[in-house]
């Protein structure tokens, strides 16, 4: 987001924001709470989720460095947010953000772009949740992780680090941890991936996994 703002204006920006750090597992946005701030993730990772009254949870996204949070909110937040292994954030009160958009008109455009990008992602995720099989979901998740790397290249084996526990993967994919675990084991048995440790997975045949992800087996 900062890319849309001149260097010499960083002081103004800093003036409207405050930095904060959130410890692992600590929640910093409460679903349904009055939405007073925007956030930018500056370090670490964050998970966004919504809850049902009985505790069922849907993780709606993972956010990392540079990600913008709080667009999916009018007066109250439509989601909760929690640090995933510690995170640092920039907090922008709505009022301050409004001053910024008046000062930097193209910032508003930038925010819309961010929202559009997010919308497009969510469309794909709805298809995943509504129409894909468990195998396809896990495959999609692995490919998504690849594309978050700096150099996404599916023509060679890819080493992945999954910073989130299985519980989070399951709640992200609309599955149970057992199903996620079983399917990862199946992929391993099929020599599609190798599991070096719980968090460290190598995609041995990324393109085949991508094919599975698209539902073309």
Partner DNA sequence: CGCAGGTTTGAACGCAGTCAAGGATCGTGG
Partner DNA sequence: CCACGATCCTTGACTGCGTTCAAACCTGCG
- The contact set with DNA (CB under 7 A) reads 133-135, 165-167, 174-182, 184-185, 195, 197-198
Of these partners, DNA, a copy of itself, none, which one is at the site of residue 73 (CB under 5 to 8 Å by kind)? Answer: a copy of itself
**Does residue 4 touch a copy of itself according to CB under 8 A?**
no
Q: Smallest distance, Å, CB 131 to DNA?
A: 9
Binding-site size for a copy of itself (CB under 8 A) equals: 43
According to DSSP, residue 78 is labeled S
Binder among 1, 2, 20, 71 for a copy of itself (CB under 8 A):
71
Q: CB of residue 36 vs a copy of itself: minimum separation in angstroms?
A: 15
Binding residue for a copy of itself (CB under 8 A) from 40, 132, 168, 183? 132
Q: Both tokens of residue 39?
A: 């956030």
Using the minimum distance from each CB to DNA, give the nearer residue, 57 or 182.
182
Q: Which of 161, 159, 183 is nearest to 170 (CA)?
A: 183
Which among DNA, a copy of itself, none contacts residue 4 (Cβ within 5 to 8 A by kind)?
none
Is the separation of the CB atoms in 164 and 47 below 8 Å?
yes
Q: Mention every residue, 6+ apart, whose C-beta is less than 8 A from residue 207.
A: 154, 155
Does 105 contact a copy of itself by CB under 8 A?
A: yes
State the chain's maximal CA–CA distance in angstroms. 57
Distance CA 46, CA 28 (A): 10
Q: Is 50 in the site for a copy of itself (CB under 8 A)?
A: yes
3-state secondary structure of 157: coil
Q: Which residues of 99-114 are buried (b: 16+ CB within 10 A; e: fewer)?
A: ebeeebeebeebbeeb
Residue the block writes with tokens 């041995």: 204
> Phi, psi (5° rounding) for residue 187?
-60, -40
> What, of DNA, a copy of itself, none, does residue 197 touch, CB below 5 to 8 Å by kind?
DNA
Contact footprint for a copy of itself (CB under 8 A)? 50, 52-54, 56-58, 60, 71-74, 78-79, 101, 105, 108-109, 111-113, 115-120, 122-127, 129-132, 171, 173-174, 214-216
């Amino acid at each position: 987001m900062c890319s849309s703002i001149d260097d010499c204006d960083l002081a103004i920006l800093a003036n409207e924001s405050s930095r904060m750090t959130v410890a692992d597992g600590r929640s910093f946005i409460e679903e349904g709470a009055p939405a007073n701030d925007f956030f930018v993730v500056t370090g670490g990772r964050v998970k966004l989720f919504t809850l049902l009254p009985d505790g069922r949870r849907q993780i709606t996204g993972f956010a990392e460095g540079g990600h913008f949070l709080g667009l999916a909110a009018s007066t109250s937040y439509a989601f909760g947010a929690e640090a995933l292994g510690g995170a640092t954030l920039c907090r922008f009160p709505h009022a301050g953000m409004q001053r910024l958009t008046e000062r930097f008109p193209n910032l508003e455009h930038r925010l819309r772009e961010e929202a559009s990008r997010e919308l497009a992602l969510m469309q794909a995720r709805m298809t995943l949740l509504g129409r894909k099989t468990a195998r396809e979901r896990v495959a999609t998740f692995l490919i998504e992780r690849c594309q978050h790397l700096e150099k996404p290249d599916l023509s060679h084996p890819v080493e992945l680090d999954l910073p989130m526990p299985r519980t989070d993967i399951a709640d992200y994919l609309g599955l149970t941890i057992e199903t996620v675990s079983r399917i990862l084991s199946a992929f391993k048995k099929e020599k599609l991936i190798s599991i070096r440790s719980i968090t460290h997975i190598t995609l041995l045949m990324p393109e085949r996994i991508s094919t599975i992800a698209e539902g073309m087996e």
